[in-house]
Structure 1
Amino acid sequence: MTAETIIPGLVGPGTQPENEDGATLDYMEMPRDMVTFHQPLAPEPEDTLGMEEAKALLNQMADDLANYKIDSSALTYSLNSLAPKDLGLINQIMGEGEVSIVCGTRYQAQESVLAGVWRVVEITGKDNQISDNIEVAAYPDSIFNETFKTAAETIELDSTFPEGVRNAPPVLSEIKDKVANYRAGQPCHAINLTLLPQTDEDIAYLAEKLGVGTTIILSRGYGNCRVSSTMTKNVWWVQYFNSQDATILNSIEIVDLPDVVRAAQEDILDSAERLSEIMEVYK
Structure 2
Amino acid sequence: MTSIPLPIFGQGSQPAEEDGAELDYLTMPEEMAIYRMPQISSDLKAPELAPARAVAECLQQALLAYPEVMPVIDLTGLDSANRAFIDELLGEGEVSALGAGGLRVQESVLAGVWRSQQLEGQQVIADCLEVGVIPQALLQSAFAGAAAQVETDIVNLPEGVMNALPLLAELNAKIAEYRPGTEAHVINLSLLPQTEQDLALLEQRLGKGPVTILSRGYGNCRITATATRNVWWVRYFNSQDTLILNTLEVSDMPNVACASSEDIADSAQRLEEILKVYL
TM-score normalised by L of structure 2 = 0.87
Q: Distance in 2 between matches of 1:128 and 1:39?
A: 29
The alignment partner of 2:89 has SS state of helix
SS of match in other structure, 2:170: helix
Q: Higher RCO, 1 or 2 (CA under 8 Å, sep at least 6)?
A: 1
Cα pair distance change 1:102/1:74, threshold 3 Å: farther
Give the structure 1 partner of residue 36 of structure 2. Answer: 38
- Residue 101 (structure 1) shift: 0.2
The answer on 1:184 being equivalent to 2:184 is: no
- Say yes or no: does 1:123 pair with 2:119: yes
After superposition, residues 94-109 of structure 1 pair within 5 angstroms as 94-109=90-105
AA matched with 1:139: I
Change (3 A) 1:226 1:276: same
Matched letter for residue 213 of structure 1: G
CA distance in 2 between counterparts of 1:164 and 1:247 reads: 22
Are 1:226 and 2:201 counterparts? no
1:67 matched to which residue of 2? 65
Q: Aligned partners of 2:218, 2:69: CA distance in 1, in Å? A: 28
Amino acid at match of 2:65: N
Q: Residue 161 of structure 2 contacts residue 197 of structure 2 at CA under 8 Å; is this kept in 1?
A: yes
| Structural mapping, 1:42-61, within 5 Å | 42-43=40-41, 45=43, 48-61=46-59
Q: Which residue of 2 aligns with 1:7?
A: none
* 1:105-184 map, 5 Å: 105-124=101-120, 126-160=121-155, 161-184=157-180
Aligned residues: 255
How far the C-alpha of 1:136 sits from its partner, in A, is: 1.1
1:240 and 2:226 matched: no
What secondary structure does 2:264 align onto? helix
CA gap of 1:178–1:30, structure 2 versus 1, over 3 A, is farther
1:155 Cα deviation after fit = 1.5
1:44, distance to aligned residue in structure 2 (A): 5.8
Q: Deviations over 1:105-159 (max 9, x none)?
A: 42001111100111111123x2232201111111110121111011111112112
Rounded to whole Å, the distance in 2 between the matches of 1:46 and 1:77 is: 19
Q: 1-side partners of 2:29 and 2:168: how far apart?
A: 30
The CA distance in 2 between the partners of 1:91 and 1:81, in whole Å, is 14
Displacement of 1:28 in angstroms is 4.4
Q: With the length of structure 1 as denominator, give the TM-score of the two structures.
A: 0.85
Structure 2 CA distance for aligned equivalents of residues 95 and 244 of structure 1: 25
- Of the structure 1 ranges 35-44 and 201-210, higher mean CA displacement relative to structure 2 is found in 35-44
CA–CA separation in structure 1 for the residues paired with 2:44 and 2:153: 68
Alignment match, 2:73: 77
CA RMSD of aligned residues (A): 1.8
* 8 A contact 1:227–1:239 mirrored in 2: yes
- AA of the residue aligned to 1:240: Y
Kindly state the Cα deviation for residue 271 of structure 1 after the two structures are TM-superposed. 0.7
Whether the 8 Å contact between 2:113 and 2:129 is mirrored in structure 1 is yes
Answer whether contact 2:218 2:239 (CA < 8 A) is retained.
Answer: no
Question: C-alpha distance in 1, partners of 2:35/2:96?
Answer: 16
1:230 partner letter = T
Q: Point out where structure 2 has 5 or more consecutive residues left out of the alignment.
A: 1-23
Matches within 5 A, 1:9-20: none
Gaps of at least 5 residues in structure 1 are: 1-25
Contact residue 45 and residue 281 of structure 1 kept, 8 A: no
